Structure 1
């Protein structure tokens, strides 16, 4: 579902041009209409650009404001806001096959870049932005920019990058109180080891009050930071994967290190509670002390009056590692105005425009100047350690582009849930082999035997 919101533009300009008079018998006579009055010259109509975005209502207000600024400075171009109600709504519009539903410029999650490339929806932006002096080499997060580099070119301009971090309810996970009790607490704000994470989860568990210490989603994405930090890998190939890589020796060893904490029923959110509400809802209600998430959660959590929250990086099991997402600004392959579209992107990634959207609190800007400023850090507001988002970017690892991450998660869900939720002992070797086999139904179905199907593997 989309909503169009025209941004303000300069009033149409009407100019009267006095035309040079022709000479007749040495005298100048006025030219124009029959009465001799000058002919009015009307300024050309501006080119219309559509700009598709999704986000919070506060972000939509900010996007509208920065488009007004762009329009005020451009007599030849009018940019109009197309509001997608969600990332999925935007993806559906792009995948519709209707060129009219693809805006001239649009916000795209990296997870949808494969779709955009397969459907040939975008045109590279490198040369166009270079011509406009956009310094995407040093001015912007290199990780974010490189994540949109494909087929030897920059497909979209990185706008925001948000690593997965650990959100903490400080009412229950109080590091000062833990230190006073002699518990193992990290002395650093940007790193804590797995045993310290486990200690915090135990400290944050309050059985009498129905408070669990931690929840990690039973998904590939949920397990990924722990696997990567401990030296494992998610896929059998970083570029063209044919399956997940859970059954490899390195990944099994990583799981053996992480699962004793992540499977501990005495500190983790029970499955019966998850059947009633999401982990996020339980976190907001003060019934789970730690959950993993990205910056987009911050505005929603700030609205909870009784919630005192902060952030820490994902636990360290061998090296700093996490996952996350990047959003980029793309130019439609079908736009009739690629130059003006590039002008718009150059405006949007500038400091002033980026600050406007960043103040809404839901993004980590790829613009390094803004990311280091108080407009992002927002001192005096939760979380107090917003700089964790910036430091965590150094450990972010992006998976290879797949046709549908949702379909991949769906295919392996029963077996990943076994890893985290099955009571008692589990056969790690058998379950990880099933995960990899199930992943092939999405990543390389052509390699399966004719009789094989997802149902056969459950």
Structure 2
């Protein structure tokens, strides 16, 4: 009969081998850090994406960090890259990734994409690949192809007896509609319902400049200055400013500070609101009224502005192959379908965008196809490493003109002067 000591030693080889196996298994799993931003619906979608990926790739663990505020996300991103410890995979907008790639902080994904069995460049809407191509090299994989549209409150239109926006409506139609829907219901001198809400920024202005036949920069590939002083561009700026200064169809600065236009739209006191697909998950929670989307009004030309984010690889990540495997999965039909389910994205994969995953007849907006039908008319703002500074500076002057502090002409001149240094410092694609 074995003693307790003998039994312990007889089991020890088995215990030792099991311990080695456990150490070996735990050591074989790679961890990829992944940071995103967005509302709760987006967070749930990313959690679902991570769960689906880890089920398909049990040897790779995804460490998800979610930052609700886009501004806080950008600050965190800049801080972590500056500290040399960024996440392995991040979500970046095409207007902002230039500052990172120009400083060698991102790992180009073109070579990985060329070897992929899941996705190829031709599977995506071409403009999204163009947006994330720097010095002829695909840097990041685009997640979406959103654009600026007009969200509108159908109940408000019905009450006022105003027809819904047509696909080919004009600037004149747009202004007339906004004027009609701007109402002081109790005649006390205070507007109770505005016809329109819009952010007075360069990004919102850009498509209207293009529609008027003007440029916003002197060279699309290698810009050296903004061109809002040119007659067609300045005329578009004046038309944009007149929405507030002449027609009064948007809140003034004080009113906007008290309650922003998006909140007014959600609350039913603004009839139309200009936004990208970003707003859809939030607007789907509206129960008080029915809403839908329409394309931007048009003028001399048809033009829209691209809104697109992409998955980018950090140049310092030690697990580049594992990180790419996640990016590849996230942008496969399976991965993009999961994120599209949140309502937040217009998939950059043509096959997913054209499927019921995106064009879901049981989900608002009823006319999601508007984003796809206008895709060919989308244009890019300049891609340059200092574009964020250029855009924010220009937007400051556009806002001042919008709220009547200066004229549109003065704003155009100040924009030209104040952004000159940023163009000198910037490097383009």
Partner of 1:53: 36
1:383 equivalent to 2:362? Answer no
- What residue number does 2:3 align with? none
Candidates 190, 194, 197, aligned match of 1:212: 194
> When the two structures are aligned, how many residues end up with a matched partner?
404
Structure 2 residue aligned with 1:322, among 295, 304, 311? 304
Q: In structure 1, how many angstroms separate the alpha carbons of the residues matched to 2:159 and 2:223?
A: 41
- 1:98 and 2:96 aligned: no
**In structure 2, which of residues 238, 250, 254 is the aligned counterpart of residue 272 of structure 1?**
254
Structure 2 runs not aligned, ≥5 long: 1-8, 187-191
Deviation at 1:269, TM superposition (A): 2.5
Tell me the SS of whatever aligns to 1:303.
Answer: coil
2:279 maps to 1:292: no
User: Does 2:219 match 1:237?
Assistant: yes
CA contact (8 A) 1:52 1:106 kept: yes
Q: Distance in 2 between matches of 1:89 and 1:438?
A: 26
Quote the residue 2:171 is aligned against: 194
Residue aligned with 2:308, SS: strand
How far has the Cα of 1:149 moved from its partner?
0.6
Give matches, 1:41-440, under 5 Å.
42=21, 43-44=24-25, 45=27, 46-96=29-79, 97-100=82-85, 102-174=86-158, 177-178=161-162, 188=166, 190-208=167-185, 210-255=192-237, 260-261=242-243, 263-413=245-395, 415-422=397-404, 428-440=408-420
1:417–1:61 CA distance, 2 compared to 1 (3 A):
closer
**TM-score normalised per structure 1:** 0.80
Q: CA deviation at 1:47?
A: 1.6
Change (3 A) 1:380 1:69: closer
Distance 1:63 1:431 in 2: 41
Matched-pair contact (CA < 8 Å) for 2:212–2:236: yes
Q: Which structure has the highest helix share of the two?
A: 2
Which consecutive unaligned segments of at least 5 residues does structure 1 have?
1-32, 180-184, 447-458
The farther-off stretch of 200-209 and 121-130 is: 200-209
- Aligned residues of 1:231 and 1:254 also touching (Cα < 8 A): no
Contact 1:331 1:342 in 2 (8 A): yes
Name the structure, 1 or 2, with higher relative contact order (CA <8 Å, separation 6+).
2
Q: Judging changes above 3 Å, is the alpha-carbon distance between structure 1 residues 207 and 237 closer, same or farther for their aligned structure 2 residues?
A: same
Instruction: Compare CA radii of gyration and give the structure with the larger one.
Output: 1
Contact 1:233 1:246 in 2 (8 A): yes
Residue 413 of structure 1: CA displacement?
4.5
Shift of 1:164: 0.8
**Superposition deviation, residue 386 in structure 1:** 1.2
Q: Is the 8 A contact 2:31 2:63 kept in 1?
A: yes
TM-score by length of structure 2 reads: 0.85
Q: Deviations over 1:140-195 (max 9, x none)?
A: 1111111101111100011112101111111223499435xxxxx76x5x332212
